[in-house]
Protein backbone atom coordinates (compact mmCIF):
# COMPACT_ATOMS: atom_id res chain seq x y z
CA UNK A 1 0.00 0.00 0.00
CA UNK A 2 1.46 3.36 -1.01
CA UNK A 3 1.51 6.39 1.24
CA UNK A 4 -0.76 9.32 0.54
CA UNK A 5 0.88 12.59 -0.55
CA UNK A 6 0.23 13.99 2.94
CA UNK A 7 1.99 10.98 4.52
CA UNK A 8 4.94 11.52 2.18
CA UNK A 9 5.23 15.21 3.02
CA UNK A 10 4.80 14.74 6.77
CA UNK A 11 7.36 11.91 6.68
CA UNK A 12 9.95 14.28 5.21
CA UNK A 13 9.04 16.96 7.76
CA UNK A 14 9.25 14.44 10.64
CA UNK A 15 12.71 13.48 9.36
CA UNK A 16 13.59 17.21 9.48
CA UNK A 17 14.64 16.82 5.85
CA UNK A 18 13.97 19.99 3.85
CA UNK A 19 15.38 18.55 0.63
CA UNK A 20 13.24 15.40 0.82
CA UNK A 21 10.17 17.61 1.24
CA UNK A 22 11.24 19.85 -1.63
CA UNK A 23 11.67 16.83 -3.91
CA UNK A 24 7.90 16.30 -3.63
CA UNK A 25 6.78 19.77 -4.67
CA UNK A 26 6.14 21.57 -7.95
CA UNK A 27 8.31 24.55 -8.94
CA UNK A 28 5.38 26.93 -8.38
CA UNK A 29 4.46 25.48 -4.95
CA UNK A 30 2.42 27.60 -2.53
CA UNK A 31 2.67 27.04 1.23
CA UNK A 32 0.58 28.39 4.11
CA UNK A 33 1.67 27.68 7.69
CA UNK A 34 -0.53 27.54 10.80
CA UNK A 35 0.92 30.83 12.03
CA UNK A 36 -0.11 32.58 8.81
CA UNK A 37 3.21 32.73 7.00
CA UNK A 38 3.03 32.20 3.26
CA UNK A 39 5.56 31.35 0.60
CA UNK A 40 5.24 30.92 -3.13
CA UNK A 41 7.81 29.28 -5.40
CA UNK A 42 10.28 26.54 -4.62
CA UNK A 43 13.03 28.78 -3.18
CA UNK A 44 10.68 30.76 -0.91
CA UNK A 45 9.07 27.54 0.33
CA UNK A 46 12.49 25.95 0.91
CA UNK A 47 13.50 28.98 3.01
CA UNK A 48 10.27 29.01 5.05
CA UNK A 49 10.31 25.26 5.65
CA UNK A 50 14.00 25.44 6.56
CA UNK A 51 13.31 28.19 9.12
CA UNK A 52 10.53 26.09 10.65
CA UNK A 53 12.58 22.89 10.85
CA UNK A 54 15.61 24.75 12.25
CA UNK A 55 13.54 25.53 15.39
CA UNK A 56 12.99 21.82 16.08
CA UNK A 57 14.88 18.95 17.70
CA UNK A 58 12.14 16.57 16.56
CA UNK A 59 8.61 16.46 15.28
CA UNK A 60 5.94 13.82 14.85
CA UNK A 61 2.70 14.02 12.91
CA UNK A 62 -0.02 11.40 13.25
CA UNK A 63 -2.80 11.40 10.65
CA UNK A 64 -6.07 10.65 12.44
CA UNK A 65 -8.40 10.98 9.43
CA UNK A 66 -7.88 11.53 5.72
CA UNK A 67 -10.00 12.25 2.64
CA UNK A 68 -9.17 12.32 -1.05
CA UNK A 69 -11.12 13.82 -3.94
CA UNK A 70 -9.57 14.14 -7.40
CA UNK A 71 -6.19 15.85 -6.83
CA UNK A 72 -6.99 17.19 -3.34
CA UNK A 73 -6.02 15.47 -0.08
CA UNK A 74 -7.30 16.59 3.32
CA UNK A 75 -6.13 15.20 6.65
CA UNK A 76 -6.72 15.75 10.33
CA UNK A 77 -3.37 15.51 12.09
CA UNK A 78 -1.99 15.56 15.64
CA UNK A 79 1.39 17.26 15.77
CA UNK A 80 4.07 16.99 18.45
CA UNK A 81 7.10 19.28 18.44
CA UNK A 82 10.25 19.35 20.53
CA UNK A 83 11.95 22.70 20.13
CA UNK A 84 15.67 23.43 20.21
CA UNK A 85 15.26 24.73 23.78
CA UNK A 86 13.74 21.34 24.78
CA UNK A 87 10.19 22.66 25.14
CA UNK A 88 7.82 19.88 24.08
CA UNK A 89 4.43 20.81 22.65
CA UNK A 90 2.19 17.85 21.93
CA UNK A 91 -1.19 16.84 20.58
CA UNK A 92 -1.66 20.05 18.61
CA UNK A 93 -4.60 19.63 16.24
CA UNK A 94 -3.87 20.38 12.61
CA UNK A 95 -5.63 20.16 9.29
CA UNK A 96 -3.57 19.73 6.13
CA UNK A 97 -4.98 20.48 2.68
CA UNK A 98 -2.75 19.42 -0.19
CA UNK A 99 -3.39 19.87 -3.91
CA UNK A 100 -1.31 17.58 -6.10
CA UNK A 101 -0.25 18.55 -9.60
CA UNK A 102 1.55 16.93 -12.52
CA UNK A 103 4.93 18.32 -11.35
CA UNK A 104 4.46 17.63 -7.64
CA UNK A 105 2.53 19.22 -4.82
CA UNK A 106 1.16 22.54 -6.06
CA UNK A 107 -0.45 23.89 -2.89
CA UNK A 108 -0.03 22.89 0.78
CA UNK A 109 -1.94 24.53 3.62
CA UNK A 110 -1.58 23.81 7.32
CA UNK A 111 -4.33 25.04 9.62
CA UNK A 112 -4.41 25.32 13.42
CA UNK A 113 -6.33 27.48 15.87
CA UNK A 114 -4.91 31.02 16.33
CA UNK A 115 -1.31 29.82 16.30
CA UNK A 116 1.80 31.83 17.08
CA UNK A 117 5.33 30.86 16.15
CA UNK A 118 6.38 27.81 18.15
CA UNK A 119 9.31 29.71 19.63
CA UNK A 120 7.02 32.49 20.95
CA UNK A 121 6.60 31.03 24.42
CA UNK A 122 7.15 32.83 27.67
CA UNK A 123 10.17 31.94 29.78
CA UNK A 124 9.26 34.00 32.86
CA UNK A 125 12.43 36.09 32.49
CA UNK A 126 10.70 38.87 30.58
CA UNK A 127 8.41 40.09 33.37
CA UNK A 128 4.72 40.55 32.76
CA UNK A 129 2.10 43.18 32.01
CA UNK A 130 -0.81 43.73 34.38
CA UNK A 131 -3.14 46.17 32.74
CA UNK A 132 -0.85 48.87 31.43
CA UNK A 133 1.81 48.35 34.06
CA UNK A 134 4.96 46.27 33.48
CA UNK A 135 6.06 44.13 36.43
CA UNK A 136 9.76 43.10 36.20
CA UNK A 137 10.78 39.53 37.09
CA UNK A 138 11.92 38.93 40.65
Residue 133 has pLDDT above 70, yes or no: no
pLDDT of residue 36: 86
Q: ∠ at Cα 76 (122, 49), nearest 5°?
A: 55
Average pLDDT of the segment spanning 23-29 = 98
Mean confidence (pLDDT) of the chain = 89
133-135 and 56-69 strand pairing: unpaired
Q: What is the mean pLDDT of residues 32-60?
A: 95
Domain boundaries, the chain: 5-135
Tens-place pLDDT, residues 61-93: 999 999 999 999 999 999 999 999 898 988 899
Q: How large is the C-alpha radius of gyration of the chain? A: 17
Range 5-135: architecture per CATH: Roll (3.10)
Taking the model in full, what pTM does it have? Answer: 0.81
Strands, E, within 13-87: which ranges?
Answer: 25-32, 38-40, 56-69, 72-83
Give me the mean pLDDT over the 26-45 stretch. Answer: 95
Whether residue 1 is predicted with pLDDT greater than 50 in this model: the reply is no
Amino acid sequence: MSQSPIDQLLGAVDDLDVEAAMALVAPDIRLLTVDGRRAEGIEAVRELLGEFLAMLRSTTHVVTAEWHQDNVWIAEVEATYELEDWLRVSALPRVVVLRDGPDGFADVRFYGAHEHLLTDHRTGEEGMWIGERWIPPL
